[in-house]
Amino acid sequence: MTNTPHRPIPRFALALAFLLVASLRLSADPILLNPENNTPVNEEYLRSILTGTERFWENGHEVLIAVLKNDPKAEQALNRFSGMTASKFKNHWQRIAFSGRGKMPKQFSDIEDLVEFVKRNPGAIAIVSDAKELRGVNVADL
Amino acid sequence: MTELRQHPLAFLLSALALIGSALETNAQSLSTGGFVSVGYLESSHYNYLADSEKGTLDFVEIGLNASWTPANRTTINGQAFLFELGPYGNYTPLVDYLFVDYAKSKELGFRAGRIKRELGLYTHIQDIDIARTSILLPHGMYDPRYRDFSASVDGASMYGSFNLPGDQRITYNLYGGFAQADPEGGLAGFSLTAISRTTIDNRIKTLEADGTYGAQFWYNPNIEGLRVGYGLSRYFGIDISTQGKFPDALPDPLLAGKELINLGQDLTYEIDQLSIEYFLGNWNFTAEYQWSHVGPTIDRIIGGVFFPDTTPPTEFEVWYANASRRFGKLEFGLTYTSSPFSKNDTNVGNATYQKDTQLSVRYDVNDHWTLKAEVHSIEGTKRLFNQHGQNPVLDQDDWTLWAAKSTFTF
C-alpha cells in the first residue's frame, strides 16, 4: 500500500473561491423590513407580496411596499423577484389599487426617506441595492 | 341599499367621514389616490358613445379613492367617481365602490358593501384607462355606457388564492348582491334603441334589476406571465319596459298612431367569458371570448292588445385579440374585436355585426401623466345607440373613430 501524496490546494484557487463567494454575497439583494417584523422571507413569499397575493404579514399587519426610484440595481431586483418589468409592475398595482384591492407601492427618490418609511410602518417592505450603511431596519438578503 | 344607491352623496359623505376619522386615528394606515382624465372622440360617420361625428370633448372621468386599515387584516376602501360620456354620466358624483375587506388568510377573504364586479380582465377596472394601452376597451364586451350595472354590485364577495404543486396557482372571486340600473344609463339606451327607429316619443317605462351573482377564476400555470381565466355573471329579475308611439302617418292603419309597449319582465341575463393574458418581456398578449343570452322573451302591447313573444331568447357572442409592446415610455397596441353573431337578433343588415381594428399608442410623460391616441377602423353598426336620435339611419357599413386622452394620476 502506497501513500498518495496530499496535493496542496493552490493559493490562487482559494483566492478565486473566496472572490466567487464574496461576489455572490455582494450581488445578493437586501430586503428591508420593519424592526418589529421577523417574518422569514424567501423568494416565493416575496413574490406573493410583490404581486399583491399576500396582503398581510403573518402577524396581521398590512404589507406596504416601498420602491426606490432611479436605482437600476434595485429596479432589477424588483423585476427579478416580482417577475415583472417596471412598467408591468406599476400597471399591475394600478389595477389593484384603483379597484380597492390593495395599496399602491410607495415610491421614494431618496433612500433615507424610504428607510424612514420602513422604520415607521410595521408592515413595510423594500428592496434596495445596498444596505451596508442602513440602520434601524431588519435586513434580509435573498 | 336602494336608498343608498339613490343618494350617492350620502355615500360620499360617509366615505369622507371615514377618511377623516382615519386621519385622526393613524395617518400611516391611510392611503389616497385618484385620477383625472379628459378625452376627445371624433368619427367619420355616426355618433358613437357621444356626439362624435362633430368631434367632442364630452369624455371625462374623475376618481378619488382611499384605503384605510383600521385593524389587522381589515381594510375599508372607497372610491368616488364621476364621468361624462355624451349623454351618460353628466358629472353626477357616484360611489364606485365602498366596502369592508377582511382577509382571513391568503386563501380566504371577504368583502361587503359596494364591491367591484369582476368578470374577465377589465370589468372591475374598466374606468382605469392607465391600466391598459388602449383608450376604449373592446366594444360589446366592455361597454362604458353599461357601467351603471356592470361596474359595481351592492353585496358581498369571497375571494382567495391557492398554491398548487409545481408553482401553479388558482385565484377565485365569488360574489352576489343587487345590481344597479340607471334609467339614463346604457341598458336603458340599448332598450330604447330597439324601438327608436320605428316609434316616436320613446321612453323607459320600467327599469329595475333585482339580483346578480357571479364568479371569476384565474389559473396561473408554471409559465412566467401567463394566466387563463373563466368568469360568469348572472342577472335575474330584470324588468325593462319601453314605451313609444307609431307615427300617425304610418301607411299601416293597424299601427298608425298606436302606442307600443315592449314588456320585458323577470328577464335573466347570463354571461360567460374565457380570458387569457400573457406578459413576455415588454410584450403583452390578451384575448377574450364572451357569450351571453337574454331570456326569456320580450312581449309587446300594441294599442292595448297583448302580443306574446314567441321567438327564442337572443344570444350574443363577442371576442377580441390584442398585442401590445412597450418601448420605454411608449407603448403600441393592436386590437381586433368582433361581434360576429347574434342568434335570434331582431336587428337587420349592418346592425347585426360590428368588427373593429384598433391601433393605440400610449406615452407616459412622467409617473403621473399619460397621453394616449388611437384609431378604430370599424365595419358594422351593432353597437350604435339611437335612444336620443343620434344615429337615425344606418346607411354606411364602414366608418372610422379617432380617440385621444390625457390622464393625470395621483
Q: What is the pLDDT of residue B24?
A: 44
Q: Contacts of residue A60 in chain B, CB cutoff 8 Å?
A: 72-73
Phi-psi group of B129: left, alpha or beta (phi > 0 → left; psi -120 to 50 → alpha; rest → beta) = alpha
Residue tagged 407616459 (cell numbers): B364
Average pLDDT estimate for B386-402: 88
Residue tagged 336587428 (cell numbers): B347
The DSSP call for residue A62 is: B
Provide the CATH number for the domain around residue B134: 2.40.160.10
User: What range defines the domain where residue B305 resides?
Assistant: 2-409
The three grid cell numbers given for residue B318, joined into one nine-digit string: 363577442
Q: How far is A40 from chain B (nearest CA, A)?
A: 17
Q: How far is A36 from chain B (nearest CA, A)?
A: 15
Spell out a b/e string for A70-89, using b for 16 or more CB atoms within 10 Å of the CB, else e. Answer: ebeebbebbbebbebbbebb
Q: What is the pLDDT of residue B343?
A: 61
Q: Could you give all domains of chain A from N- to C-terminal order, each with its CATH number?
A: 29-141 (3.40.190.10)
Q: Contacts of residue B127 in chain A, CB cutoff 8 Å?
A: 98
Cβ-contact B387, B373 below 8 angstroms: no
Q: What is the pLDDT of residue A123?
A: 93
Confidence of residue A24 (pLDDT cuts 50, 70, 90): very low
Q: How far is B80 from chain A (nearest CA, A)?
A: 11
Mean pLDDT lowest among A2-6, B27-31, B91-95, B335-339: A2-6
Strands B211-220 and B259-280: unpaired
The DSSP call for residue A29 is: P
Mean pLDDT lowest among A27-31, B48-52, B173-177: A27-31
Contact state of B281 with A98 under an 8 Å Cβ cutoff:
no
- For the cut 50, the answer to whether the pLDDT of residue B311 exceeds it is yes
- Could you give the number of structural domains in chain B? 1
**Quick check: helix, strand or coil at residue B317?**
strand
Is A38 in the B-facing interface, judged by CB distances under 8 Å?
no
pLDDT of A85-121, one tens digit each?
Answer: 888 999 999 999 999 999 999 999 988 899 999 999 9
Is B382 in the A-facing interface, judged by CB distances under 8 Å?
no
CA angle A88, A94, A97 (to 5 degrees): 140
Contact state of A99 with B124 under an 8 Å Cβ cutoff:
yes
**Quick check: helix, strand or coil at residue A64?**
strand
- Which of A92, A101, A121 should be substituted to probe chain B, the one whose Cβ sees the most B Cβ atoms within 10 Å? A101
pLDDT of B163-191, one tens digit each?
Answer: 999 889 999 999 999 988 888 888 888 88
Of the partner residues B72, B130, B284, the one whose CB lies closest to the CB of residue A61:
B72
Q: What is the pLDDT of residue B346?
A: 64
Cβ-contact B94, A60 below 8 angstroms: no
CA distance A123 to B204: 52
